Amino acid sequence: MRVIRYILLALVILPALALIAFGPRAGESLPPGRVVVEYWEKWTGPEEQQMRQIVDAFNATVGREKGIFVRYVSTSAINQKTLVATAAGAPPDIAGLWDSNIVPYAAEDALEPLEDLAAAHGIGPATYKKAYWDACHYDGHLYALISTPGIVALLYNRLAFEQSAADLRAAGLDPDRPPRTLQELDRYAEALTKRDASGRVLRSGYFPLEPGWYVPYTWMWFGGDVWDARSGKLTLTDPKVVAAFDWIAGYTRRLGAGAANEFRGGLGNFDSPQNGFLVNYVLMEQQGPWMANYIGNLRPDLQQLKWPRDVEMTKPVAERRQNYSWAVAPFPSAAPEVHDVTYATFDALVVPRGARHKREAFEFIAYVNRPDVMEKLCMLHCKNSPLATVSREFLDRHPNPYIGVFEELAGSPNARGVPQIPIWPQIFDELTSIGQEMSLGKGDAATALARAQGRLQASLDNFRDKQRQRRGQGGSISAATRGAVN
């Protein structure tokens, strides 16, 4: 027994010592004589690799010419790391944050304004689609450019529509097209929902919490807003916002709270072949263009109805789309006066305050925003483009054959970026929680929103007081408000 113990001990300790003595060491050869630009990015996995291609290309071309070397670091919890490093005065030169970080960070003067550098590189309002360009600004300054964007549309199961044609027709609906208004979407959803004899939901036409990422933005499709930029007052109790959350509660009411919760519990993890959309449990959902990548990875059979991938890619887009069991359309809105409503989200490239190589950092940011580079990256990531125009090639050869729909939506006058409220992250969490309450059939939207309004308005007033004190300005309209009006 004793011998075995010593052998086991040796088995642990000897390799450990060997590893310490002879193991690989962190060594990195940086090209001499070049300015090293530190770039922290949130991606891991394939996205990280794809961005690395872009970084390598930059280092080999523009970087070499201008004496710049981008050192690319991928890390989890990017916003926390950037925040702590910036606060301590040792930030990276470029940080790949989320769009929702821009305004809160900018309001704390933690980001470098980029408008002069952008202008020098010929990047201006005409470069981007408007929703994206606006969301990169705060208080009249440009604080970020985009690495890759996203845009939200209606993803629907075209094949299931065909298979349920009789049910849809019986409900007076056209199985050959997606719904065009939100009221219609509700009717489609009801007609497509299947229950068993005991009332258990087997399949739901639509289910607000699958995947539920955009629940806090639902008011956009109701033509509402969560704040009045001019007065700086939150408007969470606005009838349109209330209607939006009540709409979510409506699904639980119609399915029955018990049945709805049981159904939700049975949905597989998003990133798995048991994903609700992929197994036909949910037939319509809010999604971005990247979903084509997921489906291709997890259930390739859903997008190879006619041809293998390489054959498909040789065909025109209209034909390519027949290869797919799913399709994409603008997510319908509740109000007839607004159509093509969408939430335009993106991954931001920012230069944190105190970065040592702002100018060189911007060289790389500008490089990513070159039309050819941006299109290459967005195709790799399976996303749309933030740039005002895209090439024919991009539309025809994109891995998502519906990229044209996404592109048009992104250019719509009703595409809206993340609300430019300095305390948006708090509001986002609160609205997420209210969305979950509604879906659990707990309480009513008006009460929950009124409660949130009180709490969050106090927090916002507090923030604005502080900011006013700091900037030494009088008056009730804070800098935050002016930024949003711009």
Partner 1 sequence: MPAISARGREALKGYAFIAPWLVGFCTFTLIPIGLSLYYSFCDYSLLQRPVFRGLENYRTLASDGVFWKAMGNTFYYAALSLPLCAVAALSAALLLNAKVRGQAVYRTIVFLPSIVPAVASAMLWLWLFNPKLGLINFALGLLGVSEQPGWLGSERWAMPALVLISIWGAGNTVVIYLAGLQDVPRELYEAAELDGAGALRRVWHVTLPMLSPVIFFNLIMAMIGAMQVFVLPLIMTQGGPARSTYFFTYYLYDNAFVYLKMGYASAMAWVQLLIVLALTALAFWTSKRWVHHSAA
Partner 2 sequence: MVTLDVMARNAEQRAARTPGTAPAASAMSPAPPAAPVAHRRARRWKPIFIHLALLVICAGALVPFLWMVSTSFKTLDNAMRFPPQVIPRPFVPQNYLDVLQNQRLHFLLWARNSLVIAALVVAGTTLSSAIVAYGFARLRFPGRGVLFGVMLATMMIPFPVTMVSLFSLFRWMGDHTGVQWLGTFKPLWVPAWFGSAFSIFLLRQFFMTIPTELSEAARIDGCGELGIFFRVVLPLSKPALTVVALFAFMGVWNDFLGPLVYLQRPEQFTLALGLQNFQSQLGGTPWHQLMAASVLVILPVLLLFFVGQRAFVQGISTTGMKG
Contact residues: partner 2, CB under 8 A:
5, 8-9, 11-12, 16, 19-20, 23-28, 42-49, 73-77, 80-81, 84-85, 87-90, 268, 271-274, 290, 293-294, 297-298, 381-382
Dump strand ranges (E) for 18-175: 35-41, 68-74, 94-98, 137-138, 141-142, 145-151, 153-157
Given partner 1, partner 2, none, residue 395, with its beta carbon under 5 to 8 Å by kind, binds none
Instruction: Identify what 466 binds: partner 2, partner 1, none; CB under 5 to 8 Å per kind.
Output: partner 1
Using an 8 Å Cβ cutoff, are 69 and 30 in contact? yes
**How is residue 6 written in tokens?**
């010593």
Q: Which is nearer to partner 2, 73 or 450 (CB)?
A: 73
CB of 469 to partner 2, least distance (A): 23
Least distance from C-beta 285 to partner 1, angstroms? 17
**Least distance CB 386 / partner 2 (angstroms):** 17
Spatial separation of the C-alpha atoms in residues 6 and 13, rounded to whole Å: 10
Quick one: what does residue 105 bind among partner 1, partner 2, none, with the CB cut-off 5 to 8 Å set by partner type?
partner 1
Indicate which of partner 2, partner 1, none lies near residue 440 (CB less than 5 to 8 Å, by partner kind). Answer: partner 1
Nearer to partner 1, 19 or 84 (CB): 84
Closest to partner 2 by CB, 25 or 392: 25
Taken in order 227, 232, 234, 238, the sign of the CA dihedral is negative
Among partner 2, partner 1, none, residue 79 binds (CB under 5-8 Å by kind):
partner 1
Question: Which CB sits closer to partner 2, 60 or 88?
Answer: 88
H/E stretch holding 126: none
Q: Which does 86 bind (CB under 5 to 8 A by kind): partner 2, partner 1, none?
A: partner 1
What span, in angstroms and rounded, lies between the C-alpha atoms of 89 and 82? 10
**Which residues would be at the binding site for partner 1 (CB under 8 A)?**
79-80, 83-84, 86-87, 104-105, 108-110, 261-262, 264-269, 274, 353, 423, 425-426, 429, 432-433, 436-437, 439-440, 442, 451, 455, 458, 462, 466, 469-470
Minimum CB–partner distance for residue 468 and partner 1 (Å): 12
Q: In the bound complex, what is the minimum distance in angstroms from residue 71's beta carbon to partner 2?
A: 8
Minimum distance from residue 88 beta carbon to partner 2 (Å): 5
How far apart, in whole angstroms, are the C-alpha atoms of residue 24 and residue 445?
57
Judged by beta carbon distances under 5 to 8 A according to partner kind, the member of partner 1, partner 2, none in contact with residue 437 is partner 1
Q: Which residues contact 484 (CB under 8 A, 6 or more apart)?
A: 138, 229, 420, 421
Between CA 247 and CA 186 the distance in angstroms is 9
Say if residues 39 and 364 touch (Cβ distance below 8 Å). yes
Cα separation values, 56 from 174, 192, 283, 376, Å:
50, 49, 41, 14
Are 331 and 342 in contact by the 8 Å Cβ rule? The answer is: yes
Nearest Cα to 113, choosing from 90, 91, 78, 145? 145
Least Å from the CB of residue 153 to partner 2: 16
The residue among 22, 251, 278, 18 whose CA lies nearest residue 155 is 278
115 binds, among partner 1, partner 2, none (CB under 5 to 8 A by kind): none
Shortest distance (Å) from residue 69 CB to partner 2 = 14
How far from the centroid of its chain's Cα atoms is residue 61's Cα?
30
Integer CA distances (angstroms), 293 to 207, 285, 417, in order: 22, 16, 24
Rounded least distance, CB 230 to partner 1, Å: 24
Rounded-to-integer distance, Cα 422 and Cα 106, Å: 9
Binding partner selected for residue 322 from partner 2, partner 1, none, CB under the kind-specific 5 to 8 Å limit: none
